[in-house]
């Protein structure tokens, strides 16, 4: 599984591929449709799609004369579950830190040191 996740995250490291995934989340598209907003060749877009396909994020099907690209949402679910596990752990650590800080700030007055004042000669009183 870590190797699969590494491929997925590496594929999504590129902003163009992230944009393609975002667009495919709305609807399947052909290579030509995916290439429209970019100032790159169809070959370059195909290379990006190959990386996404190798990572399991997209698949291509045959429908009549076209080969629409389809986002594999289950794979994103796998990534989300992995991220969610670590997000929950981080949140738990922050909750414990918040509780500790609140305890330190709201502790009994007896544990707080008395404020000191100094006279004009710099002696504490």
pLDDT bucket at 108, cuts 50 / 70 / 90? low
pTM higher than 0.75: no
The neighbouring-strand residues paired with 59 are 70
| 92 within a domain of the structure (yes/no) | no
* Other Cβ atoms closer than 10 A to 25: 10
pLDDT bucket at 125, cuts 50 / 70 / 90? low
Tens of pLDDT, residue by residue over 16-73, are: 999 999 999 999 999 999 999 999 899 999 999 999 999 999 998 876 567 889 999 8
Give the mean pLDDT of the chain. Answer: 85
DSSP 19-66: HHHHHHHH--B-HHHHHTTSSS-HHHHHHHHHHHHHTTSEEE--BTTB
pLDDT bucket at 110, cuts 50 / 70 / 90? very low
| 18 within a domain of the structure (yes/no) | yes
Instruction: Give me the mean pLDDT over the 84-93 stretch.
Output: 91
Domain count, the chain: 1
Percent of the chain clearing pLDDT 70 (strictly above): 81
How distant, in Å, are the alpha carbons of 10, 23, 73, 90 from that of 27? 23, 7, 12, 34
* Domain of 28, in residue numbers: 2-75
| 52 within a domain of the structure (yes/no) | yes
Phi and psi angles of residue 19, each rounded to the nearest 5 degrees, phi first = -65, -40
Q: Which residue has the higher pLDDT, 48 or 3?
A: 48
Check which CATH number belongs to the domain holding 24 and give it.
Answer: 1.10.10.10
DSSP at 114 = P
Check whether 124 has a pLDDT greater than 80. Answer: no
| 28 within a domain of the structure (yes/no) | yes
CA 13, CA 48: separation in Å to the nearest integer?
11
């Amino acid at each position: 599984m870590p190797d699969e996740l590494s491929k997925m995250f590496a594929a999504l490291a590129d902003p163009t591929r992230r944009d393609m995934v975002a667009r495919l989340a709305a609807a399947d598209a052909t290579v030509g449709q995916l290439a429209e907003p970019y100032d790159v060749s169809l070959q370059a877009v195909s290379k990006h799609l190959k990386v996404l396909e190798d990572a399991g994020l997209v698949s291509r099907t045959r429908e009549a004369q076209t080969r629409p690209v389809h986002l594999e949402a289950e794979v994103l679910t796998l990534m989300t579950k992995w991220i969610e596990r670590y997000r929950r752990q981080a949140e738990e650590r922050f909750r414990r830190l918040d509780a500790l800080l609140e305890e330190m700030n709201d502790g009994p007055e007896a544990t707080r040191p008395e404020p000191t004042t100094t006279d004009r000669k710099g002696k504490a009183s």
